[in-house]
């Protein structure tokens, strides 16, 4: 099994790359989906969050009230660290379960993880390859305004709150440029797929 970590900043084109790799035959795992599952009602993660932050972070139906929790943790670095200490291990556990479930049947797994550079998870080098999506900031701002309805100020603030391209490049084995035409992006992904299938990348030490 060959495991690819696919990362990139907001609106940099991760999903476009992930979609194509899935079309080509990769098993795709979404870190954002795992993070949602990690705090679902009845989950160990949610129970630990309530234990740490109190029942006030629950919504009326028993699920997590994310805006309320956000008010607590983003004003308190220690609280945010505690939250990450609860959620990140749960996400890792779920990821391990997903990988184990397809081990022996899947050849290539793509783990789409937006905040790989920010989280420091790249340091463990659990991946055979790290791929980052990249696009000019102006292109990303335009995408966020058009596709997500953000204002320019909101879009630039979101980008500024994430790792910069230099940091992502420093952890990446491959950079896919998505700022050109869709055809140019697809050609790069096709080349990536051929290289993965041929195992022409050296596995990280």
Q: What is the pLDDT confidence band of residue 201, given thresholds at 50, 70 and 90?
A: low
What Å distances lie between residue 205 and 45, 124, 185, 193, CA to CA? 32, 10, 29, 21
Mean per-residue pLDDT over the chain, rounded? 89
* pLDDT for 168 beyond 90: no
- At residue 203, does pLDDT exceed 50? no
Asked if the structure places residue 204 within a domain, the reply is no
Residue 28's CB: how many other CB atoms inside 10 A? 18
Average pLDDT (191-198) is: 92
How does pLDDT run across 4-63, given as a tens digit for each residue?
999 998 899 999 999 999 999 999 999 999 999 999 999 999 999 999 999 999 998 899
Residue (of 36, 25, 30, 23) closest to 5 by Cα position: 30
Domain assignment present for residue 192? The answer is yes
Tokens 């997590």 correspond to 64
* Domain assignment present for 180: yes
Rounded Cα–Cα distance for residues 129 and 148 (Å): 30
pTM for this one? Answer: 0.83
- Could you list the residue range(s) of the whole structural domain that residue 57 is in? 2-198
What integer pLDDT is reported at residue 115 of this predicted model?
81
Q: Find the CATH number of the domain harbouring 62.
A: 3.40.50.300
Region 59-85: mean pLDDT is 88
Q: Say if 123 falls within a structural domain.
A: yes
User: What is the tally of structural domains in the chain?
Assistant: 1
pLDDT grade, residue 205 (50/70/90)? very low
> Does a structural domain hold residue 44?
yes
Q: Identify whether 179 is part of a domain.
A: yes
**Quick one: pLDDT at residue 63?**
92
Whether 203 is covered by a domain: the verdict is no
CA angle 158, 115, 125 (to 5 degrees): 160
Whether residue 205 lies inside any domain: the answer is no
Task: Say how many Å lie between the first and final Cα of the chain, rounded.
Answer: 17
């Amino acid at each position: 099994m060959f495991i690819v970590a696919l990362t990139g900043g907001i609106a940099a084109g991760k999903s476009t790359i992930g979609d194509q790799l899935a079309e080509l035959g990769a098993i795709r795992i979404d870190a954002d989906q795992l993070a949602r599952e990690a705090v679902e009602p009845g989950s160990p993660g949610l129970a630990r969050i309530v234990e740490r932050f109190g029942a006030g972070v629950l919504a009326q139906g028993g699920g997590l009230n994310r805006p309320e929790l956000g008010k607590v943790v983003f004003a308190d670095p220690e609280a945010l660290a505690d939250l990450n200490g609860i959620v990140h291990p749960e996400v890792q556990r779920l990821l391990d379960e997903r990988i184990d479930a397809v081990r022996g049947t899947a050849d290539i797994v793509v783990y789409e993880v937006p905040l790989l550079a920010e989280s420091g998870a790249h340091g463990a080098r659990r991946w055979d390859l790290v791929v980052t999506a990249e696009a000019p900031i102006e292109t990303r701002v335009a995408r966020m305004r058009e596709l997500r309805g953000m204002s320019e100020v909101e879009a630039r603030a979101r980008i500024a709150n994430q790792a910069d391209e230099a940091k992502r490049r420093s952890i990446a084995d491959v950079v896919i440029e998505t700022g050109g035409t869709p055809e140019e992006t697809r050609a790069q992904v096709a080349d990536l797929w051929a290289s993965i299938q041929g195992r022409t990348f050296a596995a990280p030490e």
